[in-house]
Amino acid sequence: MRLLIEYLDCYDKSWGELNYKHTDDSGFDLRAAIKAPVTLQPGEYALISNGIKIEFEGPFPFGSDIGYEIQVRPRSGLAAKHGISIVNTPGTVDFGYRGELKTTVINLGTEPFVIQPGDRIAQAVICPVIHPEIVVTDSVTNNTTRGTGGFGSTGRS
């Protein structure tokens, strides 16, 4: 399988092409394809251009009956050091989407955070998507140890 990437005019080629930094990386970084810095105050979010369009190309490793998506996730360093995250994490880029990729970045930290043009602001991970047959039933089984306790029912320790 291949991922075709079209760089848009807002993507500065001096930032380098998107790639996996290490052979065992799960994702590749997405950059802020912006003309000027964007400052996010604590609690503020902004839709940031990534400056690319994508397309999946086969052959597909699990066959043509399984689709794929890109999950857009926060970068762990930005999250740990500055409280920077993605509003809808993980964001989903559907298999058939052909528009420009953009990331909704949020500042969950306590200090203003400046996004500079070309900053690596998120990471993209390619995942398979399985479409099961959806079947309506009168009842689902409750024969698990988990049961129906709901949120927090297993405690903290």
pLDDT confidence of residue 147? 63
Establish if 157 belongs to a structural domain.
Answer: no
DSSP 8-state secondary structure symbol assigned to residue 98: -
pLDDT confidence of residue 52? 97
Q: Is 70 exceeded by the pLDDT of residue 153?
A: no
pLDDT in tens, 90-130: 999 999 899 999 999 999 999 999 999 999 999 999 999 88
Query: How many domains are there within the chain?
Result: 1
CATH number for position 52: 2.70.40.10
Bridge partners, 2 (sequence order): 57
pLDDT confidence of residue 113? 98
Establish if 152 belongs to a structural domain.
Answer: no
Q: What angle do CA 18, 35, 56 make, to 5 degrees?
A: 30
Establish if 124 belongs to a structural domain.
Answer: yes
* Confidence at 146, pLDDT banded by 50, 70, 90: low
pLDDT confidence of residue 148? 66
Establish if 148 belongs to a structural domain.
Answer: no
Q: Is 80 exceeded by the pLDDT of residue 30?
A: yes
* Confidence at 143, pLDDT banded by 50, 70, 90: confident
pLDDT confidence of residue 15? 96
Q: Is 80 exceeded by the pLDDT of residue 39?
A: yes
Phi, psi dihedrals of residue 82, rounded to the nearest 5°: -130, -5
Tell me which residue range forms the domain holding 124.
2-129
Q: Average pLDDT for residues 25-48, to the nearest whole number?
A: 97
Establish if 106 belongs to a structural domain.
Answer: yes
Q: Is residue 51 a contact partner of residue 31, using CB atoms and an 8 Å limit?
A: yes
Establish if 56 belongs to a structural domain.
Answer: yes
Establish if 73 belongs to a structural domain.
Answer: yes
pLDDT in tens, 40-98: 999 999 999 999 999 998 887 777 667 889 999 999 999 999 999 999 999 999 998 99
- Six token digits for residue 85: 């995250």
pLDDT confidence of residue 137? 92
